[in-house]
């Protein structure tokens, strides 16, 4: 019997870490649904990924938009299902002390970094259950590091971490696994926005995480359920205390 084509959905995949993850998946023969706010960048990513992936469906738009999320899940369903959901899209927000933070900004950060991943998990659950799939939520050391200026962003990632560990327990009966991945400090546009005008060329490019993603895709999702990984380590084990 022919094995079904593996299918993955990656948010924030037009550039940076999301595109690196999508590349690894494409080279593994996954069909892809990719999302991103920058339509032109998403088109370029699509053209590149089509060289390896059996199929690529790009959905441009903000992941906080319910219609965008529904379109992505519908696209995965039309491709045949969903094996891997990667919630990579996130928003940094302003860097600065909590004492002067514009508290209403939480109304943007939490919907992007926490709400959207949970909505996508809910929508994707039947597809992931059918394939005993894997949810990958991208986190940050800011979730536990208490770095000055990074409090609001770190708070969203701390919330995502707790919810992911809870999902790993709640979805076990469905055969669905959930993991956390901290990609580490990287040379990305989002990180540059945190340090405007500063030279961040000493940070590694997101490609440094490729060995980890290759390793993760080789694992049985059941064996990694609920775990937290540091993707920049040179080699296994990538596991970190949750």
Instruction: Going residue by residue through the chain, which has 242 residues, state the pLDDT in tens, using 9 for 90 and above.
Output: 456 789 999 999 999 999 999 999 999 999 999 999 999 999 999 999 999 999 999 999 999 999 999 999 999 999 999 999 999 999 998 889 999 999 999 999 999 999 999 999 999 999 999 999 999 999 999 999 889 999 999 999 999 999 999 999 999 999 999 999 998 876 556 665 655 566 556 666 888 899 999 999 999 999 999 999 988 866 666 666 55
**Contact indicator for 141, 152 with CB cutoff of 8 Å:** no
What are the catalytic residues?
153
Give DSSP secondary structure letters for the chain: -PPPPPEEEESS-SSHHHHHHHHHHHHTT-EEEEEES-HHHHHHHHHHHTTTSS-EEEEES-TT-HHHHHHHHHHHHHHT--SEEEE--------S-GGG--GGGHHHHHIIIIIHHHHHHHHHHHHHHHHT-EEEEE--THHHH--TT-HHHHHHHHHHHHHHHHHHHHTGGGT-EEEEEE--S---HHHHHHSTTS--TTSPPGGGGHHHHHHHHHS-HHHHTT-EEETTSSSS--EE--
For residue 56, what are the β-bridge partners? 32
At 90 the pLDDT is 94
At 136 the pLDDT is 98
At 189 the pLDDT is 62
At 206 the pLDDT is 87
Q: In angstroms, rounded to a whole number, what is the distance separating the alpha carbons of residues 88 and 112?
A: 10
At 1 the pLDDT is 47
At 201 the pLDDT is 64
At 120 the pLDDT is 98
**Contact indicator for 89, 65 with CB cutoff of 8 Å:** no
Hey, what domains does the chain have and what are their CATH numbers?
7-240 (3.40.50.720)
């Amino acid at each position: 019997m022919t094995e079904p084509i593996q299918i993955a959905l990656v948010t924030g995949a037009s550039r940076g870490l999301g595109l690196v993850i999508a590349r690894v998946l494409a080279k593994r023969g996954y069909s892809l649904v990719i999302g991103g706010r920058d339509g032109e960048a998403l088109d370029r990513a699509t053209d590149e990924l089509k060289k390896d992936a059996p199929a690529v469906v790009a959905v441009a738009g903000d992941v906080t938009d319910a219609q965008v999320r529904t379109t992505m899940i519908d696209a995965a369903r039309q491709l045949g299902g969903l094996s891997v959901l990667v919630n990579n899209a996130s928003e940094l927000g302003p860097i600065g002390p909590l004492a002067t933070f514009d508290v209403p900004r939480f109304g943007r950060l939490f919907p992007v970094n926490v709400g959207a991943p949970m909505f996508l998990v809910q929508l994707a659950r039947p597809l992931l259950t059918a394939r005993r799939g894997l949810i990958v939520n991208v986190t940050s050391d800011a979730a536990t590091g208490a770095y000055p200026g990074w409090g609001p962003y770190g708070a969203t990632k701390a919330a995502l971490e707790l919810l992911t560990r809870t999902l790993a327990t709640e979805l076990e009966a469905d055969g669905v696994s959930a993991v956390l991945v901290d990609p580490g400090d990287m040379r990305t546009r989002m990180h540059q926005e945190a340090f405007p005008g500063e030279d961040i060329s000493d940070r590694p490019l997101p490609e440094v995480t490729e060995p980890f993603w290759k390793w993760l895709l080789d694992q049985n999702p059941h064996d990694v359920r609920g775990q937290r990984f540091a993707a920049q380590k040179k080699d296994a084990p990538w596991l970190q205390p949750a």
